[in-house]
C-alpha cells in the first residue's frame, strides 16, 4: 500500500518492516484496557471475542490440500455462509454495547449493509449449486481440477461475489461501519488495547479466509493449474493484495448508495444472469430451437460452455444444470471431465496391456467410447447408457453409477470402458486382462456401495472373472433390495477377512459411526485401539474421540489412505439417498439387535486380551 | 384500544444529536458541528467556532507593521503567502508605496504557487474525507516540492513572511526559476493522475454530484466568494475585476460552473490549478530584471552592503526594526482573491507604527455559515463531503 501511495511504509523493524505487525500487537497488548462507564460490560467484552472466534472458525473449512482439512462436510459452503453472516452480530453488539453515538451509528450502518449484501450472497450459493451440484469444498476444487478455473465460465458472477466479499469484510469502498472520516472509527470507537487488537485481527483474518474462499470457488484452490498449498497461499496473497489495492484506489460509498448498489444493481444483475442462463438452457432443450443455440455460441464460448466438442444439432443443454435432487443426472461439465479423463487415461497408456494384446487404443477411444457418448447425448438413452446411469427413480436399479456412487469421475470412465470392452470380448481371454477387479472392489468399499459389498460377502474368495460377472448382473438386471443392516453387518465382517483393504474398511466403519449414519460404538472403539500406535498422528484422533468431538473423518485417517478417500468422498452417496427415502435403520434398535451379535463374531473381542474397553464390561 | 392508538400516535421518534468535532478526524481542525440527525439524515447543523481563537486582530494592534506579517501567515495555514500579501497590499495602498515590477512578478509566482498548495490540500483532504486515501499522499509529494520552493526563497517551509511592504524579502535565486519551470511541466502530469483517481472515478462522482447545491442568490446573500461563488455561475474573480500586481498583464481564464454542487467545486479547483500553472509559466517568461524592493529605506531594510558602508543605512536599519515605519491616518479596505475566496483587510492607521485596528475578512467564516442550509436533508456521509468541498481552515475563521 505504501508503494502504491508513493511513500515509505513502516520499514524499520526487520527487513521491510516484517516485524511491524507483531510489534503493533505487543504495543496494543501492553496498553491499558479502557471500558466506558456506561457500556454494557459483558456484551462489550464478549463481542470482540465473538469476532475472533467466528473469524478463526471460518478457517476450519478451508483445505490446504486433498489430505488436509480440519472440517469437511457436504455443507461446507453453507457453514461458511452461516458463520460469515454471524459476523455482523459482533459489530452490532459492539456498537450497541459501547453506548456511544458514533459506535451506535456504525452498528446501524452494519445492519443496513448486511441486509443489502446478504441476499446477493445467497445467490452466490445458488450459482454454486447449479454449476457444481455440491456445497462441499472438495467437490468444487476437484471439479476445477478437471475443467480448469471456474473464473472464466462464471466471470460476471465471480466479480459480483468479489464485491460481496468486500462488503462482507467491511473493506473499502464499503467500509461504512467503521468509516473513519464520518464515524471516527465506527463500531469500535470505544475499544482499546487487546479488545481493539481482537477486532483488528479478526478483520484481517476474515479478509484472508474470504479471499481463500473466493479462490477455492473460482480460482481452483490448491488443485487447478497449481502445485499444492504453496500456490494456494500465493493466490491468497495475491487476492489480499487486491483488497488493499482497492482500498487505496477507491473512495467510500455513502450508506444509501451502498443499499442502492446492493438492491438495485447487483441483485437484479445476479437474478438476470441466473434467468438468462436457465432460459437459455430451456430454449435449447427443444430440438427445433437448437439452431438458435448456435447463435448463442459466442456467449457460450464466453461462459466456457462451448469447450464441449459438439456438433450443432447434437447440443443438448438440458444436462448443463445439475439438479441437486437427481443424483443420476450429469452436467455437460461433468461429462467433459469424464471424456477428458478417458482420453487422458488412454493417452497416458493406462491401458498399456490392451496395446500389448494388439488393440489399437486410439481406435477404441473414438469408436467405442466417444462415439457411444455422443450417441447417448443425441438422445439415445437406452442400452449401455441406462446400464451406466441406471434408472433415476428406482433405487433397486442404480446402474454402474450407483454401484460406484459416481465415486470418481475417473473410475466411472474406466469401469464403463472396461465393462464395454468386456462385453465386446466377453468370451475371449483378454477380458481377464481388462478386469482390474481388486481395484474396483477397493473403490466400491471406499464408497460404501451396499450392492457390491453384498456381493463380496457372498463370495468371499472372488476372482477377477466373477467380479465382472457380478458387475454385469448387478448393473444390468434388476435385483433384490438390500437392507442397510445386512450390508453393514457383512461389510464389517468383510473388513476383517480381507487383509489388503482391512484398514480402509475399518476406518469406514468408524466413519459411519462418527457421521452418525450407523451407531456402533464398540466397533469403532476397537478400531481406534487398533490404530492407536500405528501412526504418530493418532493421538489426535484419541483426543477427538475421548472428548466426543468428531470433527471430520480427515482428522484421523492415515495419510496414505486419506488421499484416495478424499478424492472420491465428496460425491453425493447412496447413504444420503437411502436416508432420504427413509431406508436408513433407526440407530437405537440397530445397536440393540446387532451389537451383541457382532460382539461374538469378532475375534478382537476376546475377553482375555488386554483391550481398554474390557474394563467397561 | 383508543387509548393505545393515541399512545402510539403520540409516541414520536426522537431525533439524535451528535457532536461532530472538535476532535473529529474530518472536522478540519477544531470545528464543532452540533448535528441533529434523523437516522442518518441531517436535520440541522449548528457550527460552533472559536476553538482556535488566538485574538490575532487584537494582537496586531500591539505589533509594528512588519511584525504583523507573520501573524497573517498563521491565519490560514495552508495558503500562507496570500494572507501576508493582502496585509502588505493594504499597507502599500495606505502608504502609497511603489513596488518594483520584478517584485510584483515574484509575488504573483508565489501567490499562484500558494493557490496550488491550497487547492491540493483542499481537494485531497476532501478526497480523504470521502474515503480515497491515495490522492492525499500522492499530492503531498507535490506539496512538499512547493514547500521547498518556499524554503528556498524565504528560508521557511510554511510561514514564509516573504512578501514585505515595498517588495519581497529576498531576491529569487536564478536556479529556483529553473526548478519551478521543471516543476510546472511535470505537475500537469501529476494533475492528470489526480484526475484519473478522482474525476473519472464513478464512486467519487456518485458521492459528490448534487450534494450541497447552492444557488447564486444564496451565495451572494451569505457573502460567499471564491470557488463557492463561482461554482454557482457568478463570474467574480478579484484578479480580473480589480486587478492587482501584474494580473492585468497576464493571460488566464477564470473557470465558472453552474450547478453549485460539491463536484463543481472540486472540478473548479482542479481547473484553477491548471490556470495557476499557466500564470506561473507566463510570469517566469516575463520576469524582468531589476530591483526586488523599493529604494525607500524607511520602509524596506537597506541592502546589506549599504548598511555596512553608510551611517544612514545603519540608522534606518535600526529605526526600521526597532520602531517600524508609521503610516498616515487612513482607513482602507483591500481585498484580494486568495485561494479560498476574497480575503480582505480593513486597516485603520493613525500615524503610528502600529495599526489602530485591523479587521480581517476571512472567506471561510462566510462559507461556514452556509453549512447549515446546505447540509439539511443530506446524509451524515455527505456532511463530510460538503465540509471538504467548502474548504475551511479554522485558523482563519477563528482568527
Instruction: Work out the minimum CA distance from A267 to partner chain B, whole angstroms.
Output: 19
In chain A, which residues have their Cβ closer than 8 Å to the Cβ of B24? Answer: 184
In contact, A524 and A538? CB cutoff 8 Å: no
User: Residue B379: phi, psi to the nearest 5?
Assistant: -90, 170
In contact, A402 and A451? CB cutoff 8 Å: yes
User: Residue B253: phi, psi to the nearest 5?
Assistant: -115, 155
> What pLDDT is stored for residue A419 in this prediction?
45
Chain A residues 243-262 with a CB less than 8 Å from chain B: 247-257
Residues in chain A: 617
- Asked whether the predicted pLDDT for residue A137 surpasses 90, the reply is no
CB proximity B97 to A under 8 Å: no
- pLDDT-based confidence at A351, cuts 50/70/90? very low
Instruction: Work out the minimum CA distance from A115 to partner chain B, whole angstroms.
Output: 17
- pLDDT-based confidence at B115, cuts 50/70/90? very high
CB proximity B130 to A under 8 Å: yes
Crossing angle for the helix pair A521-531 and A587-601, to the nearest 10 degrees: 50
- pLDDT-based confidence at A198, cuts 50/70/90? confident
Report how far residue A391's alpha carbon sits from residue B222's, in angstroms, rounded to the nearest whole number: 82
Report the residue of chain B nearest A255, measured CA to CA.
B381
pLDDT (average), residues A406-425: 41
- How far apart are the two ends of chain B, measured CA to CA in Å? 60
Place of cell 480589480: B242
Q: How far lies A401's CA from each of A373, A410, B160, in Å? A: 15, 12, 85
Cα–Cα nearest to B181, from B82, B286, B81, B285:
B285
B133, A247: Cβ pair inside 8 Å?
yes
Hey, how many other C-beta atoms are within 10 angstroms of the C-beta on B312? Answer: 12
Q: Which residue of B128, B131, B197 is in closest CB contact with A172?
A: B131
CB proximity B380 to A under 8 Å: yes
B131, A5: Cβ pair inside 8 Å?
no
Residue B38: strand pairing partners: B41
Cα–Cα nearest to A416, from A434, A392, A438, A430:
A434
In chain A, which residues have their Cβ closer than 8 Å to the Cβ of B141? Answer: 6-7
- What is the interface pTM, i.e. ipTM, of the complex? 0.75
Task: Tell me whether strands B330-338 and B341-349 are parallel, antiparallel or unpaired.
Answer: antiparallel
CB-count burial class (<10 Å; 0-12, 13-18, 19+) for B327: buried
Instruction: Work out the minimum CA distance from A339 to partner chain B, whole angstroms.
Output: 46
Report how far residue B122's alpha carbon sits from residue B267's, in angstroms, rounded to the nearest whole number: 12
In chain B, which residues have their Cβ closer than 8 Å to the Cβ of A176? Answer: 381
The DSSP-derived string for B33-64 is: EEEEEETTEEEEEEEE--TT---HHHHHTTS-
Task: Tell me whether strands B32-38 and B16-20 are parallel, antiparallel or unpaired.
Answer: antiparallel
- Asked whether the predicted pLDDT for residue B147 surpasses 80, the reply is yes
**Three-state DSSP state, A98:** coil
Cα–Cα nearest to A122, from A133, A114, A110, A132:
A114
More confident residue, A277 or A517: A277
Q: Which residue of B25, B206, B384 is in closest CB contact with A257?
A: B206
Query: Greatest CA span in chain A, whole angstroms?
Result: 89
Hey, how many other C-beta atoms are within 10 angstroms of the C-beta on B235? Answer: 10
Report the residue of chain A nearest B126, measured CA to CA.
A181
- pLDDT-based confidence at B85, cuts 50/70/90? very high
**pTM for the complete prediction?**
0.65
What's the mean per-residue pLDDT of chain B?
A: 87
- The count of C-alpha atoms lying within 13 angstroms of the C-alpha of A233, restricted to the half-sphere facing its C-beta, is 5
- pLDDT-based confidence at B88, cuts 50/70/90? very high
pLDDT (average), residues A344-357: 41
pLDDT (average), residues B368-382: 87
Report how far residue B140's alpha carbon sits from residue B117's, in angstroms, rounded to the nearest whole number: 9
In contact, B30 and B21? CB cutoff 8 Å: yes
- Asked whether the predicted pLDDT for residue B43 surpasses 80, the reply is yes
What's the mean per-residue pLDDT of chain A?
A: 57
Cα–Cα nearest to A114, from A294, A305, A258:
A258
**Distant-in-sequence, close-in-space partners of A373: CB < 8 Å, separation ≥ 6:** A335, A338, A339
A69: left (phi over 0), alpha (psi -120 to 50) or beta: beta
Q: Which residue of B16, B127, B138 is in closest CB contact with A251?
A: B127
Hey, how many other C-beta atoms are within 10 angstroms of the C-beta on A272? Answer: 11
Chain A residues 165-194 with a CB less than 8 Å from chain B: 172-173, 175-176, 179-184
CB proximity B34 to A under 8 Å: no
Report how far residue B226's alpha carbon sits from residue B337's, in angstroms, rounded to the nearest whole number: 7
- Asked whether the predicted pLDDT for residue A407 surpasses 50, the reply is no
Report how far residue A199's alpha carbon sits from residue A211's, in angstroms, rounded to the nearest whole number: 18
What percent of chain A is modeled with pLDDT above 70?
Answer: 36
In chain B, which residues have their Cβ closer than 8 Å to the Cβ of A184? Answer: 24-25
CB-count burial class (<10 Å; 0-12, 13-18, 19+) for B35: buried
User: Residue B355: phi, psi to the nearest 5?
Assistant: -70, 140
A252, B201: Cβ pair inside 8 Å?
no
Task: Look at A14-28, A129-143, A295-309 and tell me which has the smallest mean pLDDT.
Answer: A295-309
In contact, B45 and B368? CB cutoff 8 Å: no
Query: What confidence tens digit (pLDDT) does each residue in B189-244 have?
Result: 888 888 888 888 888 888 888 888 899 898 889 989 989 999 998 888 888 888 88
Hey, how many other C-beta atoms are within 10 angstroms of the C-beta on B176? Answer: 16
Task: Look at A99-103, A234-238, A484-488 and tell me which has the smallest mean pLDDT.
Answer: A484-488
Ranges assigned E (strand) in A299-455: none
In chain B, which residues have their Cβ closer than 8 Å to the Cβ of A253? Answer: 203, 206-207
A181, B379: Cβ pair inside 8 Å?
no
CB proximity B209 to A under 8 Å: no
Q: How far lies A578's CA from each of A139, A601, B295, in Å? A: 21, 27, 107
Q: Which residue of A108, A172, A251 is in closest CB contact with B204?
A: A251
What percent of chain B is modeled with pLDDT above 90?
Answer: 25
- pLDDT-based confidence at A311, cuts 50/70/90? very low
- pLDDT-based confidence at A566, cuts 50/70/90? very low
More confident residue, A73 or A164: A164
B131, A256: Cβ pair inside 8 Å?
no
- pLDDT-based confidence at A539, cuts 50/70/90? very low
> What pLDDT is stored for residue B89 in this prediction?
92
Amino acid at each position: 500500500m505504501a508503494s502504491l501511495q508513493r511513500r515509505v511504509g513502516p520499514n524499520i523493524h526487520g527487513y521491510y518492516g516484517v516485524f511491524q505487525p507483531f510489534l503493533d500487537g505487543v504495543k496494543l497488548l501492553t496498553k491499558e484496557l479502557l471500558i466506558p462507564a456506561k457500556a454494557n460490560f459483558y456484551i462489550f467484552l464478549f463481542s470482540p471475542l465473538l469476532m475472533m472466534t467466528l473469524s478463526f472458525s471460518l478457517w476450519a473449512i478451508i483445505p490446504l490440500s486433498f489430505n488436509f482439512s480440519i472440517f469437511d462436510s457436504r455443507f461446507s459452503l453453507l457453514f461458511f455462509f452461516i458463520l460469515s453472516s454471524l459476523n455482523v452480530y459482533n459489530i452490532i453488539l459492539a456498537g450497541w454495547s459501547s453506548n456511544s453515538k458514533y459506535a451506535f451509528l456504525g452498528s446501524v450502518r452494519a445492519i443496513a449493509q448486511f441486509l443489502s449484501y446478504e441476499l446477493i450472497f445467497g445467490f452466490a450459493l445458488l450459482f454454486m449449486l447449479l454449476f457444481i451440484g455440491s456445497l462441499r469444498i472438495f467437490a468444487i476444487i476437484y471439479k476445477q481440477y478437471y475443467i480448469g478455473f471456474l473464473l472464466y465460465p462464471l466471470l460476471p458472477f465471480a466479480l459480483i461475489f468479489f464485491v460481496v466479499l468486500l462488503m462482507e469484510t467491511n473493506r473499502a469502498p464499503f467500509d461504512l461501519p467503521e468509516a473513519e472520516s464520518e464515524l471516527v472509527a465506527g463500531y469500535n470507537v470505544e475499544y482499546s488495547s487487546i479488545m481493539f487488537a481482537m477486532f483488528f485481527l479478526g478483520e484481517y483474518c476474515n479478509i484472508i479466509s474470504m479471499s481463500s474462499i473466493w479462490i477455492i470457488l473460482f480460482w481452483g484452490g490448491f488443485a487447478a493449474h497449481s502445485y499444492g498449498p504453496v500456490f494456494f497461499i500465493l493466490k491468497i496473497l495475491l487476492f489480499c493484495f487486491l483488497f488493499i489495492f482497492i482500498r487505496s484506489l477507491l473512495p467510500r460509498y455513502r450508506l444509501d448508495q451502498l443499499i442502492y448498489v446492493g438492491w438495485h444493481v447487483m441483485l437484479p444483475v445476479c437474478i438476470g444472469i441466473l434467468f438468462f442462463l436457465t432460459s437459455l438452457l430451456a430454449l435449447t432443450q427443444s430440438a427445433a430451437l437448437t439452431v438458435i443455440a448456435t447463435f448463442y455460441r459466442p456467449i457460450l464460448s464466453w461462459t466456457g460452455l462451448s469447450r464441449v466438442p459438439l456438433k450443432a444439432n447434437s447440443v443438448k443443454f438440458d444436462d448443463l444444470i445439475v439438479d441437486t435432487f437427481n443424483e443420476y443426472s450429469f452436467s455437460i461439465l461433468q461429462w467433459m471431465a469424464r471424456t477428458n479423463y478417458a482420453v487422458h487415461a488412454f493417452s497416458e497408456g493406462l491401458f498399456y496391456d490392451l496395446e500389448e494384446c494388439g488393440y489399437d487404443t486410439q481406435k477404441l477411444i473414438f469408436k467405442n467410447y466417444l462415439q457411444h457418448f455422443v450417441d447417448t447425448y443425441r438422445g439415445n438413452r437406452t442400452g449401455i447408457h441406462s446400464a451406466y446411469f441406471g434408472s433415476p427413480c428406482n433405487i433397486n436399479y442404480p446402474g454402474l453409477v450407483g454401484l460406484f456412487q459416481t465415486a470418481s469421475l475417473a473410475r466411472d470412465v474406466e469401469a464403463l470402458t472396461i465393462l464395454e470392452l468386456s462385453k465386446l470380448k466377453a468370451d475371449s481371454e483378454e477380458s481377464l486382462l481388462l478386469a482390474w477387479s481388486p481395484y474396483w472392489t477397493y473403490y466400491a468399499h471406499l464408497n460404501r456401495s451396499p450392492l457390491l459389498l453384498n456381493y463380496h460377502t457372498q463370495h468371499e474368495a472372488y476372482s477377477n472373472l466373477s467380479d465382472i460377472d457380478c458387475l454385469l448382473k448387478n448393473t444390468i438386471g434388476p435385483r433384490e433390495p438390500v437392507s442397510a443392516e445386512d450390508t453393514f453387518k457383512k461389510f464389517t465382517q468383510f473388513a476383517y477377512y480381507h487383509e489388503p483393504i482391512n484398514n480402509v474398511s475399518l476406518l469406514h466403519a468408524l466413519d459411519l459411526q462418527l457421521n452418525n449414519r450407523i451407531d456402533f460404538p464398540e466397533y469403532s472403539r476397537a478400531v481406534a485401539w487398533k490404530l492407536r500406535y500405528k501412526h504418530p498422528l493418532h493421538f489426535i484422533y484419541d483426543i477427538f474421540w475421548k472428548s466426543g468431538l468428531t470433527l471430520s473423518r480427515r482428522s484421523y485417517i492415515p495419510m496414505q489412505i486419506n488421499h484416495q478417500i478424499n478424492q472420491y468422498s465428496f460425491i453425493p452417496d447412496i447413504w444420503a439417498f437411502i436416508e432420504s427415502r427413509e431406508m436408513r435403520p433407526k440407530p437405537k434398535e440397530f445397536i440393540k439387535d446387532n451389537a451383541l451379535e457382532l460382539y461374538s463374531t469378532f475375534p478382537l473381542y476376546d475377553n482375555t486380551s488386554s483391550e481398554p474397553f474390557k474394563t467397561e464390561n | 384500544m383508543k387509548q393505545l392508538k393515541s399512545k402510539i400516535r403520540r409516541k414520536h421518534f426522537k431525533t439524535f444529536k451528535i457532536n461532530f468535532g472538535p476532535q473529529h478526524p474530518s472536522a478540519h481542525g477544531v470545528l464543532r458541528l452540533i448535528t441533529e440527525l434523523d437516522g442518518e439524515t441531517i436535520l440541522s447543523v449548528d457550527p460552533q467556532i472559536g476553538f482556535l481563537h488566538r485574538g490575532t486582530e487584537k494582537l496586531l494592534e500591539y505589533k509594528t507593521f512588519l511584525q504583523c506579517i507573520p501573524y497573517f501567515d498563521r491565519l490560514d495555514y495552508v495558503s500562507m503567502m496570500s494572507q501576508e500579501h493582502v496585509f502588505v497590499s493594504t499597507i502599500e495602498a495606505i502608504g502609497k508605496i511603489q513596488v518594483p515590477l520584478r517584485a510584483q512578478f515574484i509575488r504573483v509566482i508565489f501567490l499562484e504557487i500558494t493557490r496550488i498548495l491550497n487547492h491540493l490540500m483542499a481537494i485531497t483532504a476532501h478526497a480523504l474525507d470521502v474515503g480515497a486515501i491515495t490522492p492525499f499522499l500522492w499530492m503531498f509529494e507535490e506539496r512538499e516540492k512547493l514547500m521547498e520552493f518556499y524554503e528556498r526563497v524565504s528560508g521557511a517551509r510554511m510561514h514564509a513572511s516573504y512578501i514585505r511592504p515595498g517588495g519581497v524579502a529576498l531576491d529569487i535565486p536564478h536556479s529556483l526559476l529553473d526548478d519551478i519551470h521543471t516543476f510546472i511541466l511535470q505537475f500537469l502530469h501529476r494533475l492528470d493522475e489526480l484526475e484519473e483517481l478522482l474525476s473519472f472515478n464513478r464512486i467519487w462522482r456518485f458521492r459528490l454530484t448534487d450534494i450541497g447545491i447552492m444557488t447564486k442568490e444564496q451565495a451572494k446573500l451569505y457573502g460567499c466568494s471564491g470557488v463557492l461563488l463561482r461554482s454557482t455561475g457568478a463570474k467574480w474573480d478579484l484578479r480580473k475585476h480589480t486587478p492587482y500586481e501584474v494580473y492585468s498583464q497576464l493571460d488566464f481564464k477564470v473557470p465558472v460552473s453552474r450547478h453549485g454542487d460539491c463536484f463543481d467545486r472540486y472540478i473548479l479547483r482542479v481547473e484553477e490549478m491548471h490556470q495557476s500553472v499557466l500564470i506561473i509559466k507566463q510570469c517566469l517568461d516575463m520576469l524582468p530584471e531589476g530591483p526586488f524592493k523599493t529604494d525607500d529605506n524607511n520602509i524596506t531594510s537597506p541592502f546589506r552592503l549599504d548598511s555596512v558602508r553608510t551611517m544612514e543605512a545603519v540608522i534606518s536599519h535600526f529605526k526600521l526594526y526597532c520602531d517600524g515605519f508609521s503610516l498616515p491616518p487612513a482607513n482602507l479596505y483591500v481585498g484580494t482573491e486568495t485561494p479560498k475566496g476574497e480575503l480582505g483587510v480593513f486597516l485603520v492607521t493613525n500615524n503610528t507604527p502600529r495599526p489602530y485596528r485591523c479587521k480581517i475578512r476571512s472567506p471561510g467564516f462566510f462559507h461556514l455559515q452556509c453549512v447549515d442550509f446546505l447540509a439539511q436533508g443530506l446524509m451524515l456521509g455527505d456532511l463530510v463531503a460538503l465540509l471538504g468541498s467548502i474548504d475551511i481552515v479554522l485558523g482563519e475563521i477563528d482568527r
